[in-house]
Amino acid sequence: MKIATVVPIEDHILFVEAEEGSAGVFDLKPYLGAEVFAPLQDPAELSAVHNGGYFLEWPCGADLSADTIEANLKAAPPDIAQGLNRADPRNARRAPRNVAGW
C-alpha cells in the first residue's frame, strides 16, 4: 500500500487513503504508551504528520510503516470521508478534525 492522504481526526485517529483508492481509519491510541509515540498525545505534534508514501513520520521521531497501517486499518464510517474537507487531499499538516459521529 502506498499512502496518498493522511488526515488526523479527533481522538488520535488518522483517516488514511491509499493511492489505489482504499481508505479507512487507523487508531493510534494503542501506540501512545510507547515512549516514542507519547508526544503524539499533543494535537499539534499529531497534526505535524509527514506522509512519506510508504510510511508516516512525526518530528518527535515516531513512525509507522504503510504495512502496519494497512494491517490495522478499519473501515471508516461513511460520514468520516464526507465530513473531511478534501480540497487539498495531499495536505497532511492539518489540525485534528472533529468529525460528527466519530
pLDDT one digit per residue (tens) for the chain, 102 residues: 999 999 999 899 999 999 998 899 999 999 999 999 999 999 999 999 999 999 999 999 999 999 999 999 999 877 776 666 443 444 444 444 444 444
5 beta partners: 17
Residue-range definition of the domain harbouring residue 39: 3-78
- Residue 17 dihedral angles phi and psi, to the nearest 5°: -125, 130
Is 74 within a domain?
Answer: yes
Local structure of residue 8 (DSSP, 8 states): E
Is 100 within a domain?
Answer: no
How many domains, the chain? 1
- Residue 30 dihedral angles phi and psi, to the nearest 5°: -65, -20
Helix intervals (H) in the chain: 43-46, 66-72, 78-83
Give yes or no for a contact between 32 and 42, defined as CB atoms under 8 angstroms apart.
no
Is 89 within a domain?
Answer: no
Is 88 within a domain?
Answer: no
Which amino acid type is present at position 91?
Answer: N
A 10 A CB-CB count for 5 gives: 19
| Residue 50's CATH number | 3.30.2020.10
